[in-house]
Amino acid sequence: MTSALAVYSGALRRDTARLRLLDTAGRPLRHVDTNLWQRLRPGDRTILDRCAAPTLDVGCGPGRLVGALAGAGIPALGIDISTTAVRLARRRGARAVTADVFGDVPEAGQWSRALLADGNIGIGGDPARLLRRCATLIRRHGHVLVEADPPGTGGWSGAAVLHDGDRGSTPFPWALVGADQLHHHAYAAGLRVIESWNEDGRWFACLSR
């Protein structure tokens, strides 16, 4: 079996890959089009406009958001467990390092913003734990900006598999969170939702202590 990181990194390298996220019974959870992460898309501006201060992009992927912030002169760092993603992010001029959000993170506790875009609220399979961790990465009055699924779509957490059409990965923990469920996870993490908005079918929220 192939690790999820190998399937994901292979997709990033091929630049055209469509992946599917499945549960371990093979039921589809969502389509993952890595092309969507290569360049800014509708809705991204609404996140970037709220990042006028030092920003940590958690699970930055190929770095379109952290790259745009760097281009605008805003101090920003992308972290990702995929070395391929980090290399692609650096190639576009972003500052990015290979790091696990639950491990050592540069300048932990000093960031004004932490981003969880593109469904990254699912990292680790336990949204409250991830938000609790993000709360330790931001400074006292910092914000965690989260992209969620549309309200009413229901949540999911468990073991997921990434499939690229040819091969499936070993299972890894992941979660899906609807915008209407964010309050609950935020509360469990000692945070609260202070703003929520949507654009072009994408749903976002700003969380603070």
Can you spell out the DSSP letters for 52-117?
Answer: -S-EEEET-TT-HHHHHHHHTT--EEEEES-HHHHHHHHHTT--EEE--TTS--TTTT-EEEEEE-
Tokens matching residue 33: 């089009």
Whole-number minimum distance, CB 83 to ligand SAM, in Å? 10
- Closer residue to ligand SAM, CB minimum distance, 85 or 176: 85
- Closer residue to ligand SAM, CB minimum distance, 129 or 192: 129
| Interatomic CA distance for residues 53 and 13, integer angstroms | 31
Whole-number minimum distance, CB 195 to ligand SAM, in Å? 20
The answer to whether the beta carbons of residues 87 and 63 sit under 8 Å apart is no
| Interatomic CA distance for residues 20 and 31, integer angstroms | 5
Interface with ligand SAM (CB under 6 A): 8, 37, 59-62, 64-65, 79-82, 85, 100-102, 117-120, 123-124
Whole-number minimum distance, CB 105 to ligand SAM, in Å? 9
- Closer residue to ligand SAM, CB minimum distance, 117 or 177: 117
- Closer residue to ligand SAM, CB minimum distance, 158 or 192: 158
Residue with CB nearest ligand SAM?
Answer: 61
Whole-number minimum distance, CB 43 to ligand SAM, in Å? 12
